[in-house]
């Protein structure tokens, strides 16, 4: 059971899981002081349910399609009684500084504030990525009735809110212990590469749009969407090198040492190169719009990175 619970806290952590026995205990341990925690699981066959029970978290099952739909289901159907939600993946750890600020500041926030950005750190390759990460900030804290997921994202999950957003310097740490095995990480990226390639092709054809408004001068998520739209029109196979140089050199990834190089080389260059390879494979099939939409649904069922297997 999580100790030090405070029944006056107006925020509920919600965690998505699937076979997260290596990560979940650390995530739940970081949530001391929160009176109620929901875990939305999509069919774990490991010790995930038992770990939830040990920590007193409320375990709920719901089948998984993608992160966006899973989060929207959680927001719409969980019996959340608080105004605020703290949205987490099982490989996230709330740092003590962030936890203390949430417990202290959430009750004091103006009614105009509907979301909170925090610093987002990654642990990868034996070190913490402070400069060269994919995103330096994330909005895991928001008012439940004022937020919805961005349905335009097939891989990641982001939330769209209407109202004032504030930013805190305290950090959320993402550390997937399964990825300490490089083979596991590589196989997972193969799956993500196909999903991103299909998502990009759908977006190029106008078959998939962002829920939020892309805006270079907007919030971090609005700027991210705007940049992703520009990315679509960059030349294939030039994009991975440009992205590596940005992440490792201009964003300061080299300051993260060996871990920074590994992250920029593997997640920044190799993954983007693989996306471009799968884009070429998709284009060689000369798919019409209905066929591409069919693949976009089939690949989510197979959990595979193979273009041919996603054809059904």
To which H or E segment does residue 12 belong?
A: strand 11-17
Beta-carbon count within 10 A of 138 CB:
25
Cβ-contact 140, 59 below 8 angstroms: no
With left for phi above 0 and alpha for psi between -120 and 50, is residue 57 left, alpha or beta? beta
Q: Count Cα neighbours of 121 within 13 Å in the Cβ-side half-sphere.
A: 16
DSSP type of residue 57: P
Number of neighbouring beta carbons within 10 Å of residue 162: 11
Pairwise CA distance, residues 113 & 307, whole Å = 43
Q: Express each pLDDT in 2-14 by its tens digit.
A: 544 555 789 999 9
Q: Give the C-alpha separation, 216 to 79, whole Å.
A: 36
Report angle CA 133, 138, 110 to the nearest 5 degrees. Answer: 150
DSSP E strands, 103-251: 113-124, 127-129, 137-143, 147-149, 159-161, 164-174
Q: pLDDT tens digit string along 51-82?
A: 999 999 999 999 998 899 999 999 999 999 99
Do residues 98 and 92 lie in contact, with contact meaning Cβ atoms separated by under 8 Å? no
- All structural domains of the chain: 11-177 (3.90.550.10), 181-311 (no CATH)
Q: Print pLDDT tens along the chain (312 aa).
A: 454 455 578 999 999 999 999 999 999 999 999 999 999 999 999 999 999 999 999 999 999 988 999 999 999 999 999 999 999 999 999 999 999 999 999 999 999 999 999 999 999 999 999 999 888 999 999 999 999 999 888 888 899 999 999 999 999 999 999 999 999 999 999 999 999 999 999 999 999 999 888 999 999 999 999 999 999 999 999 999 999 999 999 999 999 999 999 999 999 999 999 999 999 999 999 999 999 999 988 887 777 788 877 776
């Amino acid at each position: 059971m999580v100790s030090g619970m405070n029944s006056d806290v107006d925020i509920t952590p919600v965690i998505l899981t699937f076979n997260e026995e290596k990560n979940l205990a650390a995530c739940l341990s970081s949530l001391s002081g929160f009176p109620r925690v929901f875990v939305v699981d999509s069919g774990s066959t490991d010790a995930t349910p038992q770990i939830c029970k040990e920590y007193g978290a409320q375990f709920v099952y719901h089948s998984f399609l993608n992160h966006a739909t899973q989060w929207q289901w959680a927001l719409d159907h969980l019996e959340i009684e608080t105004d605020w939600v703290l949205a987490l993946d099982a490989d996230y750890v709330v740092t003590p500084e962030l936890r203390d600020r949430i417990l202290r500041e959430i009750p004091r926030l103006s009614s105009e504030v509907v979301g909170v950005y925090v610093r987002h750190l990654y642990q990868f390759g034996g070190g913490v990525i402070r400069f060269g990460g994919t995103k330096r900030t994330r909005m895991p804290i928001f008012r439940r009735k004022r937020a919805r997921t961005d349905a335009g994202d097939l891989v990641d999950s982001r939330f769209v809110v209407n109202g004032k957003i504030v930013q805190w310097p305290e950090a959320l740490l993402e550390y997937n212990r399964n990825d300490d095995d490089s083979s596991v990480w590589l196989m997972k990226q193969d799956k993500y590469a196909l999903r991103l390639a299909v998502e990009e092709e759908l977006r190029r054809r106008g078959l998939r749009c962002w829920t939020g408004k892309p805006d270079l001068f907007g919030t971090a998520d609005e700027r991210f969407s705007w940049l992703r739209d520009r990315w679509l029109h960059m030349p294939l196979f030039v994009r991975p090198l440009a992205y590596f140089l940005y992440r490792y050199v201009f964003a300061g990834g080299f300051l993260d040492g060996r871990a920074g190089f590994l992250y920029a080389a593997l997640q920044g260059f190799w993954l983007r190169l693989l996306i471009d390879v799968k884009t070429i494979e998709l284009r060689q099939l000369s798919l019409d719009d209905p066929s591409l939409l069919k693949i976009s649904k089939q690949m989510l069922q197979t959990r595979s990175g193979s273009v041919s297997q996603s054809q059904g």
